[in-house]
Amino acid sequence: MTSDTEQERVYATLPMRIKAVAIDSLIVSLLLMALLQVLGLYFPKHSVLTAFAMFGMSLLFEPLLISSAGCTIGQYLMGIRVIRKENGTLCPFHLSIVRYIVKILLGLYSLVYMLFSSNRQGIHDYSAKTIVVISKRKLIKHPEVAIEQKEEGQIEKQYKYPSAIRRFAFFVIWYIIAFFSASIILGILYSIIIAIGTIVGLTSYEESENNLLFGIFIIIIWIIELFLFAAVAYWASKGYLPGAMRKKITQDEIEAEKEHAKLEEEQADIMEGLNEKEELSSKEQKQIEKENLKTVKANTFIFTLFGFIVGLIFSLILLNQIVEIIFITLIGSLIGYVFGYLYGESKKKNVTGK
């Protein structure tokens, strides 16, 4: 698999990921039902085996697909992929297991955390150092998704936001307050409705927990609580909640930020230039060293050969014994080698400019 660069990454949105989870949950439920039927047919008395098989399927379904294919079935249908943040490769199996366990333990809270993360990472993504991006296949079909995300990023740059952890913490605090407040108000409202029903003879307190009205009321409570959860999470992520509110960046701050960015860019250019000079200097030095080595070798060879020839000529003229001729020739070669080496070293110093 080829690595994604950060410039190419378009992060998956929360609705996409929730839809993918819903699809995967439906698929796993159907698979578990089918597995339960098969195990019940062939192993009717092995309840431990059945429980182990169902637990194993629930635990391994997502990690196996993410570590091997980069996405689950639901994620594939939604056009999103799970990759390592640092290099864009597939998440290893053992980290996929960790990621899935954290996701199960924290549930919706882990997914909601992506609203507060600059890379749209859930808590389970942080645990495995992964990110969830929109696949190239989907971006080709829907290029407007990347444009919308870029425009959203430009708008967010106009504000200073508290840290992701701070916004998430105040989301939890305000949601707990909203949850209990709504529960108290709805409980009081339900009691008033039952009291009125009792007075007019439609129902009684004893029957209230078994009638249709109670069931409808419970459903309404869950819908309201879910709405509150989504609303508070959105307000917290946008910096609307007291305690973790965003601040509009003033024109002076914008100019200061631009100036700071300009200085950083200039410093980066200077450092890049220095690195290039150092690299060039290093290459030139290596080239000079090669030339010096050639100079020393060439001069050593020439003077050694010259000493050998001179020694051989003089020994042949002046001497008659072969041993003496060889000895004098070797002495001449050795003297030539020493002088050649020293001369080559002197030339080397001239080349390096020392």
> Which residues, listed in sequence order, are joined to residue 309 by a DSSP beta bridge?
none
Please check whether residue 349 is in contact with residue 292, taking contact to mean a CB–CB distance below 8 angstroms: no
Q: What is the DSSP string of 28-95?
A: HHHHHHHHHHHHHHH-TT-HHHHHHHHHHHHHHHHHHHHHHHSS-HHHHHHTEEEEETTT--PPPHHH
pLDDT single digits (tens) 207-256: 555 566 677 778 888 888 889 998 999 899 888 999 989 888 776 666 66
> Which residues, listed in sequence order, are joined to residue 83 by a DSSP beta bridge?
131
The reported pLDDT for the residue numbered 76 is: 94
Task: Supply φ then ψ for residue 133, to 5 degrees.
Answer: -120, 160
Closest CA to 91 of 134, 55, 125: 125
Q: pLDDT averaged over consecutive 10-residue blocks of the chain (354 residues)?
A: 60 91 91 82 72 80 92 94 92 93 90 89 93 91 84 80 90 91 85 73 53 75 88 90 86 68 76 66 72 78 78 71 71 77 68 45
Look at residue 12 and give its three-state secondary structure.
coil
The reported pLDDT for the residue numbered 353 is: 45
Q: Phi/psi zone of residue 107: left (φ > 0), alpha (ψ -120 to 50 degrees), beta?
A: left
Look at residue 212 and give its three-state secondary structure.
helix
Q: What is the DSSP string of 285-354?
A: HHHHHHHHHHHHHHHHHHHHHHHHHHHHHHHHHH---HHHHHHHHHHHHHHHHHHHHHHHHHHHHHHHT-
Distance CA 235, CA 256 (A): 29
The reported pLDDT for the residue numbered 207 is: 52
The reported pLDDT for the residue numbered 202 is: 56
The reported pLDDT for the residue numbered 203 is: 55
Say if strands 80-84 and 130-134 run parallel, antiparallel, or are unpaired. Answer: antiparallel
Our measurement of the distance from residue 67's CA atom to the centroid of its chain's CA atoms, rounded to an integer in Å, reads 15
Q: What pTM was estimated for this model as a whole?
A: 0.63
The reported pLDDT for the residue numbered 2 is: 43
The reported pLDDT for the residue numbered 150 is: 82
